[in-house]
Homo-oligomer: A and B are copies of this chain.
């Protein structure tokens, strides 16, 4: 949690963005995870190695996407960034869906939102605020994203309200999969379609009609000058390699969740809502905190709040739609009590904290405190 020292950023950044950046220290865990899986080793070892193995592949994927996006120009580039930005989360959740771990899928979705709005935003505000009395960011861009997030949370609550009013209970913590009524499944599909349509509207808004809001002039150039751009061929190749690796790690990871939960004594819910969610977003987490320390709060808030919104408006609906074609039965967006309370409280506080376009280290501390308390609550569940 210590802030980067003031003369460190330049080297750290080069390290981060270079092929030998810190996430790549974890590369050896990729073959290790594969080997452990093939050797049928202890599931918790497989889980740990594949979870850590996801991180460098996700980082490479992000890097390759950015390189490609730089060449494609802001419109298509933004679309690329956005589409592939949540690919690791999507892939992990997809494999969990096929494996019948629907409650893990939902937990990891909510966990992503909580992680981004509390852990990432909190970390960025705290670390960034240690070196600056007050950091500012574009209130309009932050508000637009917070509104998306508020809408999405409201939407994600509706099927649970339906289920409760209908007399059914919320899914208990200790289950893998609950079979809901077809009304709830259809409602989830309808919610998913409207959320995806809103998401498309959001793309039009951020990439076209109000592009300037999200791309302050001069910001991009400064970034680009620091390294040699990749060729398109290299970008595409590495994107494909990274995609395959993410897929492989995700499948191994998901395959080891059930046994790991049992042997380590954690609930599948906790693994989904905290561990899987943190792993899936680890690369972005680092970047958000890192740019905050460099006082680029616009970018940090954009990553934190924007990623949450993407998970809720893109990843969740896509999974619902995929669930009608893959897996045992459709995914109903009926979250359990912890997930509902968690997402509503987190989103309310995040929208409050970002509404003024300013932050201090103390607000970051408060967000991290809430994440900690939620984590303890989920752990004891």
Contact = CB atoms under 8 A, between A and B. Distances in A.
A202 B341 CA distance: 25
Number of copies: 3
A210 B133 contact: yes
Contacts of A341: 157-158, 161
Interface stretch (A42-50, A221-229, A347-355): A347-355
Given A338-B161, A362-B201, A381-B165, A150 B349 contact: yes
Interface stretch (A13-21, A30-38, A372-380): A372-380
Contacts of A155: 369-370, 373
A150 B348 contact: yes
B139 A337 contact: no
A151 B373 CA distance: 10
A345 interface: yes
Interface string A117-159: 0000000000000000100000110011011101100110111
Interface residues of A, number: 66
Contact of A376 (B150, B191, B355): B191
B377 A198 contact: no
A285 B161 CA distance: 28
A194 B372 contact: yes
B154 A205 contact: no
A355 to B, nearest CB: 7
Nearest to A377: B158
Contacts of A376: 187, 190-191, 194
A210 to B, nearest CB: 6
B377 A162 contact: yes
A369 B194 contact: yes
A170 B165 CA distance: 9
A315 to B, nearest CB: 17
Contact of A210 (B194, B360, B377, B380): B360
Nearest to A189: B376
Interface in A295-350: 336-338, 341, 345, 348-349
26 contacts: A144-B363, A147-B352, A147-B363, A150-B352, A151-B349, A151-B366, A151-B367, A154-B348, A155-B373, A157-B345, A158-B373, A158-B374, A159-B377, A161-B337, A162-B377, A165-B173, A165-B336, A165-B338, A166-B381, A186-B380, A190-B376, A194-B373, A198-B366, A201-B365, A202-B362, A205-B360
7 nearest A-B residue pairs (beta carbon): A165-B337, A205-B362, A154-B345, A190-B376, A161-B341, A198-B369, A151-B366
